[in-house]
Amino acid sequence: MIRRFGQCFALATERTTYCFRVMKTGHLEHLYYGRRITVESDADMEALTEKHAFMPGNTNAYDQENIDFSLEDIRLEMSSYGKGDIREPFIEVIHGDGSATSDFLFEKAEIGTGKEAYRTLPGSYDENNGTEHLCVTLRDRQYELRLELHYYVYADCDVITRSARLVNESRETVRLERLMSLQLDFDTPEYIFTTFTGAWAREMRKTDTRVISGRHVNASYTGTSSSRANPFVMLSKADTSEDAGDCYGFNLIYSGNHYEAVEVSGYGKTRFVSGINPQSFSYPVGPGEDFEAPEAVMGYSCAGYNGMSRGMHRFVREHIVRGEWKDKLRPVLLNSWEAAYFDINERRLLQLAEAGREVGIELFVMDDGWFGNRDDDTRSLGDWEVNRGKLPDGLEGLARKVRELGMEFGIWVEPEMVNVKSRLYGTHPDWALQIPGRPHSEGRNQRILDLTRREVQDYIIEEMSKVFSTEGISYVKWDMNRTFTDYYSGALPPERQGEVAHRYVMGLYHCMRELTLRFPHILFEGCSAGGNRFDLGILCYFPQIWASDDTDALCRAEIQTGYSYGYPMSVVGAHVSACPNHQTLRTTPLETRFNVACFGVCGYECDLCDMDEEERDAVKEQIALYKRWRDVLQRGDFYRGRTFARGEGGVPGNITEWTCVSADRGRAVGFLMQKLVQPNTQSGYYMAKGLDPARRYHFYNRRTEDCRACGDTLMYGGVRLKQAFAGEGYNAQARYSPDFASRLYFMQAEDA
């Protein structure tokens, strides 16, 4: 709900309220964002309005007529340099006369419903066209520039999204150095800034930083949203827990270089901004042209991290993921990569597929190595013609034979990359992002195609259309294994190289949009060396993303916990792989590998032909179990309990605990995992979450647990377990209580 009271605006979801007003100067003053409050008139907002008798210290007054306050000490909806506010700006513009001062003042506001698509970028959507929209138009006091601030209210998710658009109505080109998507000012310091950082194979490490002064930045400059710093971040208070306390979550619908900063001013106010990373960004906006900032997402809950996460999860499932696969249950797949790597041929692939059929696999995926002279990672990227020496009957023949086994067929591609050893690079070396005549920084034996060029976009679209048109392809894994280094496009003059990173992202979205429209039946999974591009922008086109190349169960439990703060598990690709693990060389129980993977979109990435009969029987049993509970695990509400990062008392723990509950709260699956065996401990407990307190549930697992209790008992009292981590009989290794052991628990309402 959006309401206007004079010069005041109130945006409300089911549980939150967001308020701001137009000041007498024309600037927008932020008043409140938090749990829902009563706002029926502008008088109700008077208590929220700051009272200033004079400007503090040696700050600067806005102008001679307003000497009672300084913009440096006001909570603002947007900010710029030049009129006294020296904090992180929302916008930076270099005008035609060389000035960097901007002064955007209120002109008008319009309230409507519906969500139009952006011209250059993906965004959220509403199938029911019921989303309320507020557009506030500001105009620069001295220059002919118009700035639009857009607000969209998703009441059912307790989410508000924001974006901005700069329109140049002057006769001169201006240079945009920064345009954020979101600015939020708080009147108190001492927030906990939570970021999710890491690197390849160790994505989404949750890090809490207490911000009491200065500026703290979470950003990517890899050309992607990055495994180094995911664009999802949180702000909370020190006493916030999983289930209690104030928590703000923020994300960005963007797949390129991003920037999130928290700054505490000298006057104790906290500012948060989020948007495109301004580092090396410089974008000319000519007369009559405009620039769209990505859409930013913000959610709040007074019910702790889990409360905020549930709203974010609903928002992603209902207003980001789209298309035919939005609500479909995802198939259990078998990927050939760790079984064969590049050493593939039709005979070996069909043997693997036949083994998959025997255990219940629904989708067989051929990974890298099927095209050109692709015997290793040094050659043939860009040459998307099937290698007939490996696949004598072509893609069509292999797909047909896999489908005759009763499974769907999928394929791996990496469209954005090119090897120097390829026909494509030999023909079009200028199509790579590289500085002409200068040494190039090498990575993964490949270079990045210049998607700022329309002809390169067209090439990718047409080459991939040829591949995807193969009869029988129902799944595509879209990879991208290299970060950006030498930012340079030969298609742009020297003075416009600051556009390259953003233009690349727009070109990528054009390719993805066109291909997903051409092939709506295909299930696309995004992959960028694992989690290098795990973001809402990709999820606008691909309904799931490969979360990490690290398939070690212990690592994956931590990685998936990290993702769960901002993303639903229904978008997280997770596989059971062989041991010793190919990334860590660690050995973990097969049972645990499955238990972790089944909370994401479950698949297998191992050589089933190399397994003994006992292991294959175990896998068959796992897949049958997953199919029985797949609707809960893929569609249910996800809750965190204790985690390795934050155990009891807020200290690092030895236990990770998850619960996934169906929408009607009639069925639930619980997960409990220990990191290491602790001596002289036999008992343990599991605390359910999200159940109906008044309903009675049958609580059980495959071997040792079986009881009946009300939901409130299972949630608030918990279940004391028998031999908490004794194995459940998948194989001989699981018959005792090892390191990295785990259990699944099932809860069925007796009246369901």
The two structure tokens encoding residue 263 = 């700054």
For residue 429, say if its preceding peptide bond is cis, omega within 30 degrees of 0: no
**Which residue in the list 479, 535, 550, 607 is annotated as catalytic?**
479
Give 3-state DSSP helix, strand, coil % of the chain, rounded to 5. 25, 30, 45
The two structure tokens encoding residue 381 = 């990227």
The two structure tokens encoding residue 598 = 């089944």
Catalytic site includes residue 479: yes
* CA distance linking residue 685 with residue 691, whole number of Å: 17
**Residue ranges with strand state E in 155-257:** 159-168, 174-186, 191-197, 205-211, 214-219, 233-236, 247-252
Catalytic site includes residue 368: no
Work out whether the CA dihedral 390, 392, 395, 401 comes out positive or negative: negative
**Three-class DSSP labels, 433-444:** CCCCCCCCCCEC
Contact 588, 581 (CB under 8 A): yes
* CA distance linking residue 550 with residue 698, whole number of Å: 35
The four Cα atoms 278, 284, 290, 291 give a dihedral, to 10 degrees, of -20
**Helix, strand, or coil here: 662?**
coil
Residue carrying the six token digits 């894994």: 477
**What's the one-letter identity of residue 215?**
R
* CA distance linking residue 172 with residue 139, whole number of Å: 16
Total length of the chain: 752
* Distances 485 to 6, 276, 500, 570 between C-alpha atoms, Å: 51, 18, 12, 33
**Which residue in the list 103, 549, 550, 637 is annotated as catalytic?**
549
Residue in 83, 92, 89, 90 with CA at minimum distance from that of residue 59: 83
Instruction: List the beta bridge partners of residue 110.
Output: 135
Alpha helices in 195-345 (DSSP H): 304-319, 337-340
Contact 94, 174 (CB under 8 A): yes
423 CB-near residues (< 8 Å, 6+ apart)? 372, 382, 383
**Helix, strand, or coil here: 92?**
strand
Contact 410, 450 (CB under 8 A): no
The string of DSSP letters for 663-729 reads: TTSSEEEEEEEESS--TT---EEE---S--TTSEEEEE-SSS-EEEEEHHIIIII-EEESSTT---S
352 CB-near residues (< 8 Å, 6+ apart)? 334, 336, 339, 340, 364, 607, 608, 609
* CA distance linking residue 553 with residue 592, whole number of Å: 7
Contact 364, 350 (CB under 8 A): no
| C-alpha gyration radius of the chain | 27
Residue in 510, 379, 507 with CA at minimum distance from that of residue 450: 507
Give the catalytic positions in this structure. 479, 549
